[in-house]
Every structure is written in structure tokens, then in C-alpha cells.
Structure 1
Amino acid sequence: MHEALFEQIHKIGLVPVVKIDDASKAVGLAKAMVKGGLPCAEVTFRTAAAEEAIKQITSAVPEMLVGAGTVINLDFAKKAVAAGAKFIVSPGFNPSVVDWCLENNIPIVPGVCTPSDIEAGLSRGLSTLKFFPAEVSGGVDMLKNLAGPFPNLMFMPTGGISPANLASYAKQSNVLAVGGSWMVKPELIEAEDWDTISNLCSEAVVALQGLEFAHLGINNENAAEAEKTIAALQAFGMVKKVGNSSTFLNTTIEVLPKMYYGRLGHLGFKCFDIERTLAYLGRHGFTVNEETITRDAKGKIKVCYIKQEFSGFAVHLVKA
């Protein structure tokens, strides 16, 4: 149920938690976030402006995926949905809110921090839960431990997450998306500092990917030419490791005994989540070469190439 919406949230990867006091600033905020590459927000019912802010954003910025947060009672849930919220998030597990959302086919991500909370969600058929407050409830170590007894469950950790620990959460396989507020601080919204918000969103989106140069791949006409290249690199003290179809030198240079993708070779990049990174790169004009996709046992992409090449090199993504 609601797979398409949760997949959209997963590809965005970061759900800014918005506390807004003046609904007249909501549209400017949403446009700044979209400009920064974060077309998603959880507008919290911590202020009286939440309902009107959701209305204005959904009307004026339709490309924005807007949810409602801090939905602690049924009244808030009904107001949020009437205002146009596409999903509901709550800090705890309120059975009346959860059951009402399920009965009305509204995506709901209730907060949990114990196995008992999780089992209450599982008993209602939920597969995505909010882990809150994340840092003080065990953080990444807790998520790792929960992956054992609940292998098919996904979490949206929120609470205490910042640029300093974003990567540790983003790389977890049971994290659907991360919740945070550092890029949409109330004082920035109040000052209508849209440029700063856009820049913070852009920085967060890049950090979320975990992109890191992994290796250089060198194409060769044949095996004999490849051996010459390998011998030359060994003269520089590099240690070779022979694989099934190529040879690595110090893990950073891959020598191929054939002409493969890229006129000269390829640039390999590691990332936390290839599906998410492909969505991010798509906004920059890159597209995946479908023929090169390799998946793991759960159907997640492990390896792929990008169609576009530059300076004679193809681009290769590898899951970190």
C-alpha cells in the first residue's frame, strides 16, 4: 500500500521537518527548498500556522511533496488531510490516528522507539515507521540491532540528526529517508533567507548521497596490452589483485583486458544508495544504462553505468 509515495520519499532521501509560524512565508520556503533539490517537507503541527501553510504550499508549489508532522491527535490528522497533506507523521504511536489513516487510505508513518511500538505497527500492516527521537534512542546502533528481528521494516529516523551524522544514517539499509530540520531553521524562515535555505538544502542532498571516488578503470585493446599496463603500474609499487574479468592495482586502478564502456575507460564512484543517487543525478541530466544494472538478492542495485560519458570516460556507480 502506498508503495509509489514511499518510493518517492526514498529517492528524495531527506524529509525536512518544518516548523513555521507565519503561513505567508510558506510558499517562499517551498520554492527555496525545491530550488535546493529538496521537494519534500513535513510541516509540523507545532504552530497554528501549519494547516494554512500546507494549503498554500500544495496549491502554489504542486511539485512539492507535503506531509504533516507532529500529528498527535485525530483532529490534527483530519485538518492536515483536508489541507492537502499527502502523508501523516506522528512522534509516537497513537492507535486512533493510525487506525483512522488506515481506514481512509492515508499514508501514515507513526513514531516508534521500542520493539513493542514496532510490533504494534506491524500488526496493522505498516512497513515504514518513524524512529524517534533517533539519537537519544540508540541512533544508528539501534537501527542496526532492529534490522535483525525486523528485516523487512524501513525507518525514517528523526531527532538529533545533523550534517555531522547524516551519512551514518543515510548508509543504513533499513533507512527509507532521514528527517532533519537544520536546513529549514525557524529563524531562517522568519528572516525569509531563501538563498541560505536553498544552499543548505543543496549541501544536504549532496552529503546524503555519500558519493566518493572509488577507482579509475583503464580499457586495453587486448590481454597482452593489459599485462604491460599492469607491469608498469607495479613498478610504482602498486599491488595487483586479479579478478574474474579485470585486475585491480591497490583497489584504485582497474585494468581491463578489453575495450569496455568509455573510449578510454571509466570513473568509478561509490554511493550509499544507487537508486537514490540515480534520482539525484537525473536532476543533473544523467540517465542510467539499463543494460548494465546488477542487483542483489533483495532487488537493490549493486552496480550500474551511466549512459553519458565525458572526456572519454564512462561513469560507474557502486554501492558503498
Structure 2
Amino acid sequence: MKLFMLAGLAVAICGCPALCQDVPADTAALLREWGRYCLNDLQGKVVLTDGVWLSRVDIDGDSAADFIYDGSGVGCEKDGRFLGTHSAAVGPILQVVMSTSTGSVEVFQQAIRAVEIDRHDGFGVIAYDGAGVGSIYRVAAGKMIEMLERPAGGQRVYMHDGDNARLLEPRVPDAVVATLLKSDDLGSEGALYLDPSNFPPPIAEAISNWKRYCEEIQGFEAVFSKDFITNVDIDQDGDKDIILDGHEKMCVRGASGEVSDRGSGNGNSIEIYTVAKRGMSGERFDNIRRGRVIEWKGFAVFVYEATTGVRHVVQLKGGKLASLKAEPRGGKVVYITQEKTR
């Protein structure tokens, strides 16, 4: 086991805390659609502009937050080169998801040149130019009806002027993007491009070390699967902690895609980093056959079986590690690592 501790480090894994918790299913699916294209076809990484790619606004005056996905804030990069935004020939993809009494409902998804959204009393109005022809829709209670004329009044709550290159700062951190893209729909590996500069020092070091090992020593490409990094609060302090799965980092042989090496060693390796106001602390556990992380108030417990067959129960609390004789009763399992083979 290896202990990391950085005193006084202020860590913000999620640059958009409100949005990270309740992204609608339809929006997550749309983002993963772009993710499949960017990650698998272009071999790039998905980048999001905070405050642009997803907005929360009350469109119909019911005091509930509705969601607007703007493709001009959703892009793809490779080796620092910008490859494009989530758009069609007409312009960026715009999606509107409304909150209703029965859940969230997608009411609009269209490639647009420009759009204006106004809030009225009990309904909203979407006026957009899709392909040189203007259209007006009334949206309320999760339903959309076409209108012949735009009603007077209302309050402008969203406007897009047709700009298809809004990928400016600030960027949503890679860790958050990885969490949003986490889906089996991305393929068997769901490869992620991780830029170390977007992570706290211990995480950046882990990513950089693996890249260096694969590229400089092995001569292959360093690849991280969609399950390499997990953000989850394991000690109920309100901060998202980080778990790294060594089996999900690979050295890949060029175009063949053959995995030549994994970071799991004999069995698997797991790194658990807890985030608190005074800093970040991390533990690395090697030679794991299977294990699970259990959430408690103020601490976490990691129960795992080593490849030797020995069972371990350890407590992570306040940056310190302690072995326990038995697993405490209760708690909530928030992470499971299954047995991995090379």
C-alpha cells in the first residue's frame, strides 16, 4: 500500500456541481452519442465548455429547472488540435428537455442556425431557424405545438446567434466528462483521452506515469477505459472522492488495438483518493482479486480479497489508514471491483 497526502490542497473535481448531479437521461444519451463518434471514430477526447454545453433555465414559468443542451459547447480534440463541435451542416445541435410532474421529457432536438427561447406564464416559446425557414413552437407540460405567430411579451431566457465555435474557457474538468460519458454504449473499452493537467496532482501523476510507461518504455499508446476513474462520495462529507481502477489502463499496440499490458499487475490494483477541505489523501492497494468500498459517515471501509486468498478490511478516515479485525455492520456499498484477469 502506498499513502499520498497533500495538505491544504483545494480540489474541485466537478466544475459544475449542480449539473453533474441531475443531467437528464435524454441529454446524457445525446452526449454519449457524440462521445462514441469523438472517442471511437476520431480517436480524440470530448471537451465541454462550462456554462455553455448545458444550461438550466425555467422555460415555462413553473419554477422547475429545464435543460438546454448546446452542441456549440460540445467538442472533440486530439493532441491539442480542435476537431469540431457537435453539429450538423446547418449548425450546432440544440436539445431542450423539460421537467414535468412525471419526469424529464425531451421536447426539442434540432440542428439550428439561431434560436430564441422566451418564458411566458405557463408555457414557453421556441423560435428557431433550422435551414433558412423559421419555425415557432409552444412548449408546456412536456409537449410541443407548432404556432403560426409568435405571441407578444414573454421574457427571453435563452438565445443562440448561430455561432458554432463556443469552445472557450472555462472547460469542464476531464474527470467530470469521464463520469458523464460512462456508459457501456461507448464500446467494449470506451477509451478516454485524459489530460493530466486537468486533474489534481496525485491523479495527474498516476496518468502521466502510465503514459510514460506505455509510450517511452513499451513504445505503445496509453489508453484509459471509461471505467478507469470513478467519482463517488465514499465518506458522506459532500465531496466527490476518486477511485482509479488499474485494470482499466492499458498499453495498446497501434492500429491493431491489441492490449499489450494493463496496470493491474497480478490480480488488480485500486487507488482510492478521499477529498476533504484540508487536502486529498490516497491509498493504493495491489494484488486484489475482488473488493468493495463501503460508505460511512465520516469514513470509508475497503473490504478486499488478495490474490493470496487473504481477506483484508481497512478503514480510510481523515487521510489515515487502519486495519480492522472485522467488517463493520451496515454502511452502503458504493463501489465494487470484480476479479480481473490480464
Q: Using structure 1 for the length normalisation, give the TM-score.
A: 0.23
Q: Where is the helix percentage greater, Structure 1 or Structure 2?
A: 1
Q: Using structure 2 for the length normalisation, give the TM-score.
A: 0.22
